[in-house]
Amino acid sequence: MFRELLDHPEVDEVLVLRGHDRPRELRLGFMAYHGGGLEEMTEVVAQHAAEHSDASYYGVHQPRGMERHIPSIEVSPDASERLRMFLDHVHAVVTIHGYGRQGYYSTLLLGGQHRDFARHIGGHLRRHLPAYRIIDDVDEIPKELRGLHPRNPVNLPPAAGVQIELPPRVRGTTPMFWDWEGPALPPHTQSLVNGLVEAARAWLRVPDAR
């Protein structure tokens, strides 16, 4: 399924590796493999955060109007040399997803197996997004959104990683931002990126937390 998606002529598989001059334990990566038309703006958030924190990036961008969902456990490096290169390069990752669920319209969910990193990111996001609820206690996250499966790409690097589920509002895809013309990101989305960048930079300065 994943290989078939990558072979689609309008799907872009993007890989940017950074941090070659640093030891692997000091290399972070951001992913957005449900990006583009499927989970809108996730690839934009992940790319901006990666660029401004000198982290690597891997994304799969579907064209507008295409919404082919591949379950995370099927997004395998066995089907993608670029994904394998990304996972072999980084030590920990942050995967950006989008979701929408009644009662969670202003809630960000921080799953994945690297719980210390999740709490670290959560603390930074709370400062940048005070109007949002940031859940980094995995027991409070709906089970299907926890990102704990060992085959989930977020958990494949040596230190595993954090899966962040973003509601539409913080991605700037709700009527709240209907008249936003840019070129900058919508204010809430920019605050999100700022928080992710701050968290990534701070994490790399705390060796005993990795």
DSSP 180-197: ---SSPPHHHHHHHHHHH
Per-residue tokens: 76: 């395998």
What CA–CA distance (Å, rounded) separates 201 from 142? 29
Report the CATH architecture of 2-209: 3-Layer(aba) Sandwich (3.40)
- Residue 208 pLDDT > 70: no
Question: pLDDT category, 209, cuts 50, 70, 90?
Answer: very low
What are the angstrom distances between the C-alpha of 9 and each of 71, 84, 142?
Answer: 20, 21, 35
Q: What is the pLDDT of residue 174?
A: 78
What type of residue sits at position 6? L
**Mean pLDDT over each residue of the chain, to the nearest integer:** 94
Cβ neighbors of 77 (< 8 A, separation 6 or more) are: 83, 84, 87, 153, 156
Up-side HSE of residue 134: CA atoms within 13 Å toward CB? 21
Whole-angstrom Cα distance, residue 168 to residue 32? 15
15-40: average pLDDT: 96
Using a 10 angstrom Cβ sphere, with 0-12 exposed, 13-18 middle and 19 or more buried, the burial of residue 55 is: buried
Question: pLDDT tens digits, residue range 60-84?
Answer: 999 999 999 999 999 999 999 999 9
pLDDT at residue 182, as a whole number = 73
DSSP secondary structure string for all residues of 10-65: T-EEEEE---TTS-GGG-EEEEEEEEETTSTTHHHHHHHHHHHTT-EEEEEEEPTT
Question: How do residues 105-159 score in pLDDT, each as one tens digit?
Answer: 999 999 999 999 999 999 999 999 999 999 999 999 999 999 999 999 999 999 9
Q: What is the side-by-side order of every strand in the sheet holding 28-36?
A: 12-16, 56-62, 28-36, 92-98, 161-166, 107-111, 133-135
pTM above 0.85, yes or no: yes
> What pLDDT, on the 0 to 100 scale, is given for residue 173?
85
189 phi/psi in degrees, rounded to 5: -65, -40
For residues 152 and 18, give the distance between their C-alpha atoms in angstroms, rounded to a whole number.
22
**Domain map (residue ranges) of the chain:** 2-209
What confidence category does residue 181 fall into, taking pLDDT thresholds of 50, 70 and 90? confident
| Mean pLDDT, residues 80-90 | 98
